[in-house]
């Protein structure tokens, strides 16, 4: 993969500080996500009985990462259908229940008591007549959580994520890897791609990450927004994962780098105007997939009165969307935005693993320079207390 | 519907100015969208032959509004499946082509020369073997556009949107109403709901809109971001429509009110932390559907070790998600955010029409006070020129 920064910035002190902070988290084993490429390898031989769909009952960090990977690969690799029962939206749930013929359910909650997840689980128990010892039900949660105790009581197979892996950093743990393996994904390649990037980073071979982190952290007051402009519809769920990762990790202590996700070229027809002529104060990251389908071409058809569009004839759709990305990048660079780009040469599982690890380490590096606790989320507790008192 | 503002602000002069500006646009017929509730009624009797899917070939304003309505109602009303061929993302397109068995295609482009749309159209011609006089192909475009001329040449049925209706304001025109009618939606109710709101507004019975518009416009430097927190997964496409409407209309002349869309309760697990403890500088709008499925309940099941979640037992999912909305609102009000809420009593087509007209008039009112041209998008032209030169 290729990482290009289109802004001049050098702050060796900040880069050194970020590197040392992240290295300490990694080596001390204090923060768990760095080690998932090794510890999750044990899931590679897991096999479940044959089910027609994989249904995830989980929200936030328990579903976003899995969905991000699934949406990227579902049309390219042979996979079982995955259905995400995330939100207590009755109409959405009723629609999704109808899609499930012979599903394998995963109930996923780090704390083991997420109210949305357990409520949906109860509805699933009723609707799909789940019973103790059910083979079509698996649980993924923290060791010792109420949900694990329930699993033991009911005789349900249960997997753990490490306690020191936060929900939004958990996609490479059991949380994401087991359901994706159950759907048929090659998780070894995902983990290998993540590991390779992590190793190169700690060997100081991915220094662009530190430069970007120090620029973002030292200029968050000037650029309090980071727009991820991802050029493919299949990256829609990935941008949601990114929004949680940046938002929940870095938005605290009166500081933030607000993540905003957009999809190119769709949002050129939606959000680009504001970027071109609005107030500025944003960094912009382009994410593109270089060769994602070399055979899918715009046919050489000349339609009457539409010849002004013929300049793309015989080019691939990948070329069109990526040249749109280039054109938008150039237009925004001319407006002096701090721009960077991430280019995946092709859409494969190793690159997806790398992309995830890149963003996780980037978040850790920025958080350490902002001097926030990247891994907690104290701000969401008060809402839970208020909710409890409404019943 | 119910509109509540939780901030104190009074600027009678600005409210009067906004009202008069909008009234002038309406009465002079200079801006067309206000009149669509009447002019689009003519589509109510349109019937097409029987097709199994409706496929929209369009991007931005040609697809977002239709998708917003479709996603809201598809699980509640009997509708034909709609498939949106928007982005020149090859993997997404290949996946969607497979979903089409016997589709009715709509090629939609206001200018009639949108490069993504015509490129995808060419691929559709090739893949689905479309020929002149095809009955399964319809075109929607501006009068006199190249695409209309093509339609005449090929003998394809063609519909127009009024020239003075911009793409992002066009969902109630032929652009949205004809495909939705083809899918089986009750467009009369949508248009009636929009008309009723518009009439009440111009009779000065929806003054909250002016108060909100004047607050947003007069304080855009303090609050340059508006977060729409929509509490239902089925509002996901609606928030994208909102982002285009606000972003492209108001982001110009060095001004902006950056629209950010989030889905509750999912994004309580993602974006709420940043709102609670970040930098502030945002207005927040809650959108909820009050009674959207009174029969879909959380069953009264007591699971071992999970009794801490039993407080929601026997309540409906609609209650749970809406109490979450309330709790989040209260938590954010305690942080002194300017908050407002929009409550749809139920999910029906009249309310959907009202919601659309509300947001369109709100955008016009804010734009007039910001003294920007709400209806153009000059910033997106340069990227198109750069793109052309890359081939």
DSSP line for A263-309: ETTGGGGTTHHHHHHS---EEEEEEEETTS-TT-B------TT-GGG
Active site residue B384: yes
Residues B181 and B203 both lie in one domain: no
Residues B13 and B84 both lie in one domain: no
Residue B173 and residue B38: Cα distance in Å, rounded? Answer: 10
Provide the pLDDT confidence category of residue A16 given band limits of 50, 70 and 90.
very high
Return the percentage of chain B with pLDDT > 90, whole number: 97
Strands A53-57, A103-109: pairing is: parallel
Inter-chain touch B309–A255, beta carbons under 8 Å: no
Q: Specify the pLDDT at position B293.
A: 83
> Which of B185, B201, B222 marks a domain boundary?
B185
With a CB cutoff of 8 Å and minimum separation 6, the contacts of A69 are A171, A176, A180, A185, A190, A352, A356
Q: Where are the beta strands (DSSP E) in chain B?
A: 2-5, 53-57, 81-85, 103-109, 137-141, 157-160, 225-230, 258-263, 282-289, 339-344
Is B40:B174 a contact under the CB 8 Å cutoff?
yes
Residues A263 and A212 both lie in one domain: yes
Residues A18 and A106 both lie in one domain: no
Residues B243 and B340 both lie in one domain: yes
From B75, B8, B362, B43, select the one nearest B207 (Cα to Cα).
B362
Q: Specify the pLDDT at position A293.
A: 83
B326 close to A (CB below 8 A): yes
Q: Specify the pLDDT at position A23.
A: 98
A135-152 mean pLDDT: 98
Phi and psi at B8, nearest 5°, equal -90, 120
Look up residue B117 and give its two tokens.
């749309």
The mean predicted confidence, pLDDT, of chain B is 97
Tens of pLDDT along B360-380?
999 999 999 999 999 999 999
Inter-chain touch A87–B311, beta carbons under 8 Å: no
Comparing CB atoms, the residue among A92, A256, A272 nearest residue B383 is: A272
Active site residue B269: yes
Question: Cα-Cα-Cα-Cα dihedral of B223, B224, B227, B228, to 10°?
Answer: 100
Residues B200 and B59 both lie in one domain: no
Residues A161 and A274 both lie in one domain: no
Q: Specify the pLDDT at position A108.
A: 98
Question: Cα-Cα-Cα-Cα dihedral of A365, A369, A370, A375, to 10°?
Answer: 40
Strands B339-344, B2-5: pairing is: antiparallel
Return the percentage of chain A with pLDDT > 70, whole number: 100
Q: Specify the pLDDT at position B216.
A: 98
Q: Specify the pLDDT at position A50.
A: 87
Task: Tell whether A380 is covered by a domain.
Answer: no
Provide the pLDDT confidence category of residue B49 given band limits of 50, 70 and 90.
confident
Residues A97 and A21 both lie in one domain: no
B133 close to A (CB below 8 A): no
Structural domains in chain A (count): 2
Q: Specify the pLDDT at position A191.
A: 98
> Which of B185, B205, B225 marks a domain boundary?
B185
Task: Tell whether B342 is covered by a domain.
Answer: yes
Mutate to test the interface with B, among A274, A313, A329, A378 (most CBs of B within 10 A): A274
Comparing CB atoms, the residue among A266, A272, A301 nearest residue B86 is: A266
Task: Tell whether B380 is covered by a domain.
Answer: no
Residues A332 and A283 both lie in one domain: yes
| Catalytic one of A101, A221, A269, A390 | A269
- Residue A156 CA to chain centroid, in angstroms? 28
Task: Tell whether A382 is covered by a domain.
Answer: no
Domain range spanning residue B248? 2-26+190-370
Tens of pLDDT along A301-312?
999 999 999 999
Provide the pLDDT confidence category of residue B294 given band limits of 50, 70 and 90.
confident
Inter-chain touch A119–B309, beta carbons under 8 Å: yes
Is A261:A228 a contact under the CB 8 Å cutoff?
yes
Task: Tell whether B10 is covered by a domain.
Answer: yes
Distances (CA, A) of B337 to B259, B274, B334: 16, 13, 8
Which residue(s) pair with B4 in the sheet?
B341
Residues B172 and B221 both lie in one domain: no
Tens of pLDDT along B52-64?
999 999 999 999 9
B263 chain-A contacts, CB cut-off 8 A = 87
Tens of pLDDT along A109-125?
999 999 999 999 999 99
A329-337 mean pLDDT: 97
Inter-chain touch A89–B321, beta carbons under 8 Å: yes
Q: Specify the pLDDT at position B66.
A: 98
DSSP calls for A173-212: SHHHHHHHHHHT--HHHHHHHHHHHHHHHHTT--HHHHHH
Residues A246 and A339 both lie in one domain: yes
**CATH code: domain of residue A15:** 3.40.50.10490
Tokens 């008192």 found at: A389
| Catalytic one of B269, B277, B336, B390 | B269
Task: Tell whether B391 is covered by a domain.
Answer: no
Task: Tell whether A253 is covered by a domain.
Answer: yes
B116-121 mean pLDDT: 98
Return the percentage of chain B with pLDDT > 70, whole number: 100
> Which of A185, A209, A239 marks a domain boundary?
A185
Task: Tell whether A376 is covered by a domain.
Answer: no
A294-303 mean pLDDT: 94
Residues B240 and B173 both lie in one domain: no
Q: Specify the pLDDT at position A309.
A: 97
Three-state DSSP class for A106?
strand
| Catalytic one of A17, A206, A248, A341 | A248
Residue A101 is given by DSSP the state S
Tens of pLDDT along A217-246?
999 999 999 999 999 999 999 999 999 999
Residue B196 and residue B206: Cα distance in Å, rounded? Answer: 11
The mean predicted confidence, pLDDT, of chain A is 97
């Amino acid at each position: 993969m290729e990482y290009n920064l289109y802004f001049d910035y050098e702050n060796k002190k900040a880069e050194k500080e970020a590197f040392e902070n992240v290295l300490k988290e990694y080596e001390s084993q204090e923060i768990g996500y760095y080690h998932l490429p090794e510890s999750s390898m044990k899931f590679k031989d897991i096999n479940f009985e044959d089910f027609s769909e994989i249904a995830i009952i989980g929200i936030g960090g328990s579903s976003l990462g899995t969905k991000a990977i699934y949406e990227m690969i579902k049309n390219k690799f042979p996979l079982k259908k995955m259905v995400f029962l995330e939100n207590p939206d009755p109409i959405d749930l009723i629609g999704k229940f109808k899609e499930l013929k012979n599903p394998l359910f995963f109930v996923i909650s780090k704390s083991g008591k997420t109210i949305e997840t357990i409520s949906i689980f109860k509805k699933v128990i009723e609707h799909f007549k789940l019973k103790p010892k059910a083979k079509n039900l698996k649980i993924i949660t923290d060791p010792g959580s109420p949900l694990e105790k329930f699993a033991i009581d009911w005789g349900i197979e249960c997997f753990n994520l490490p306690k020191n892996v936060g929900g939004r950093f958990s996609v490479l743990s059991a949380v994401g890897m087991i359901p994706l393996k159950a759907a048929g994904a090659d998780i070894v390649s995902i983990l290998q791609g993540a590991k390779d990037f992590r190793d190169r980073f700690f060997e100081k071979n991915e220094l662009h990450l530190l430069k970007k982190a120090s620029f973002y952290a030292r200029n968050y007051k000037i650029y309090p927004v980071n727009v991820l402009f991802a050029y493919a519809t299949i990256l829609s769920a990935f941008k949601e994962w990114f929004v949680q990762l940046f938002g929940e990790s870095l938005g605290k202590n009166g500081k933030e780098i607000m993540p905003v996700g957009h999809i190119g070229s769709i949002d050129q027809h939606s959000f680009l105007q504001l970027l071109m002529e609005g107030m500025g104060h944003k960094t912009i990251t382009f994410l593109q997939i270089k060769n994602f389908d070399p055979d899918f071409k715009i046919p050489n058809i000349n339609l009457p009165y539409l010849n002004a569009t013929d300049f793309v004839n015989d080019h691939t759709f990948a070329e069109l969307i990526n040249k749109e990305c280039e054109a938008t990048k150039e237009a925004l660079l001319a407006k002096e935005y701090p721009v960077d780009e991430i280019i995946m040469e092709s859409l494969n599982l190793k690159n997806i693993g790398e992309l995830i690890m890149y963003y996780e380490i980037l978040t850790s590096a920025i958080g350490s320079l902002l001097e926030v606790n990247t891994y907690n989320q104290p701000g969401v507790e008060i809402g839970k207390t208020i909710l409890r008192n409404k019943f």
